[in-house]
Amino acid sequence: MGNPFLSNPQPDFPELDRTVRGLDKPSRAHVIEIGIDHPFLQQLQERYLDEPWIPLTDDTVEAYYRQIAWLWYRLGYECLTLFISHLNMPARQMRVSPDTKTLPLGQKDRHWAEEGQGVITSWADFDAYPWDEIVPDHRQLEAFRKGLPPGCKMTVMPTVFTQVQVSLLGSEGLFYLLHDDPDLVAAVFERWGQIIYDLYAEVIDMEEIGALWHADDLGFTTSTLIAPDDIRKLAMPWYVKFGELAHAHDKGFWLHCCGNVYATGIIEDLIEDAKLDAFHSFQDPILPVNGFVDQYGERIAALGGVDMDKLCRLGEEPLRQYMRDILDHCVPRGRFVFGSGNTVTNYTPMDHYCWLLEEARSWRP
């Protein structure tokens, strides 16, 4: 493939939005990603564009994120995904791997969240946690708003279940406390869920926001991480509220969710109760996107779909044929936007990513 950057991007978020909601059949194969690693974007820019990379420092926040937004735009995307973090949160325990052999884009370290206990292990920890001091970090949001390319929108993406599981309680902490002290687990979900709801309520009226794209990894290959009834009790009420908030402002409510939500029936709760407009994260060993569209495509949109293992490891012709099969199967039915099954990571082969864009651009009804 030649230069993946378009000389004349023509984003049309309203058509993408109508496609997701099932109001119109798309005129072309729209593309979407939940994320593209910034080192990957830097490598794309250095390979294909004769432009200097602006590093992120305290003095370059606005310029750095404007650069990111315009790279997405020039790659053909109509919505820019913004993960909003929070300030004043007690630091969680992290492990650092010095192994650079698996980090192809020059990173020196890889950070891993500890899987044991989080920062809350007891009611005393809960009471001491600085809930009222935690505020959203809007620096990236404001930079994107100032530098948003024409025709594009933003989606915002915090987490509830994943934040509780990974940071606040820890994986093992969550699993044990569901048995030993379920009231404490419920209290943590209630406090953190309200913080995320308040964040969504703060930004939902912004013209630049096109949809709420919530992110929570609820499962693994064969099932959910916790019992489905616990998900229904702890997390689902918040998804219902997020969906109601989005729809009350005529915005879409999308979900990124890794793991098998089909075997336990959670997908039905997400569709019928939370009123999801779109679902993202597809692994072929769980349910290929073609199968998802066949089973659920009349009620909910599919975002992405290209299995990450295949995207990274298949040769050119098998990968291209695999992606054409997805496009041919899903796009004509509507309620589908093409992209990777998860995220364009720093280990994704650049040529493979470029083939993905090329197949989307060359596809015709």
Helix (H, G, I), strand (E, B) or coil at 345: coil
- Check the CA dihedral 49-53-54-55 and report its sign: positive
Q: Packing angle between helix 38-48 and helix 61-74, nearest 10 degrees?
A: 70
Q: What is the pLDDT of residue 101?
A: 46
- Rounded Cα–Cα distance for residues 72 and 10 (Å): 12
> Backbone phi, then psi, for 233, in 5-degree steps?
-85, -35
CA 300, chain centre distance (Å): 17
Measure the CA–CA gap between 13 and 15, rounded to whole angstroms: 5
pTM to 2 decimal places: 0.93
To 10 degrees, what angle do helices 289-296 and 316-330 make?
10
Q: Check residue 235 and give its pLDDT.
A: 98
CA–CA distance, 238 with 273 (Å, rounded to integer):
11
Tokens of 296: 């659920």
Q: Rounded CA gap, 47 and 196, in Å?
A: 38
Q: Is the dihedral of CA 266, 267, 273, 277 positive or negative?
A: positive
pLDDT score for 147: 86
Cα separation, 332 vs 282, in Å, equals 19
Structure tokens at 214: 């919530």
Chunked mean pLDDT (size 10), the chain, 365 residues:
89 96 92 95 93 92 93 96 89 59 53 76 97 93 91 95 94 96 98 98 96 97 97 98 98 97 97 98 97 97 97 98 98 96 94 97 91
- The DSSP result for 112-174, as a single string, is EE-SS--S--SHHHHHHS-GGG-EE--HHHHHHHHHPPTT-EEEE---SHHHIIIIIS-HHHH
DSSP 60: -
Compute the half-sphere exposure of residue 220: CA atoms within 13 Å on the CB side of its CA.
Answer: 3
* CB-side neighbour CA atoms (13 Å) of 306: 32
Secondary structure class of 357 (helix, strand, coil) = helix
Q: Kindly give, in sequence order, each residue whose CB lies less than 8 Å from that of residue 319, ignoring residues fewer than 6 positions away.
A: 310, 311, 352, 355
Which residue type occupies 144?
F
Alpha-carbon Rg for the chain in angstroms? 20
- Positive/negative CA dihedral, 319, 322, 326, 327: positive
Q: Tell me, what's the pLDDT at 107? A: 55
CA proximity to 118, closest of 165, 161, 156, 154: 165
Q: What is the predicted pLDDT for the residue at 97? A: 57
**Which tokens in the block code for residue 333?**
């039915």
Q: Are 216 and 159 in contact (CB under 8 A)?
A: yes
Residue 236 CA: distances (Å) to CA of 21, 38, 108, 210, 312: 21, 32, 39, 22, 33
Residue 117 has what pLDDT? 84
Tokens representing residue 213 in the block: 């794209």
Question: What domains lie within the chain, and their CATH numbers?
Answer: 13-89+111-362 (3.20.20.210)
Could you identify the residue written with the tokens 């989080």? 118
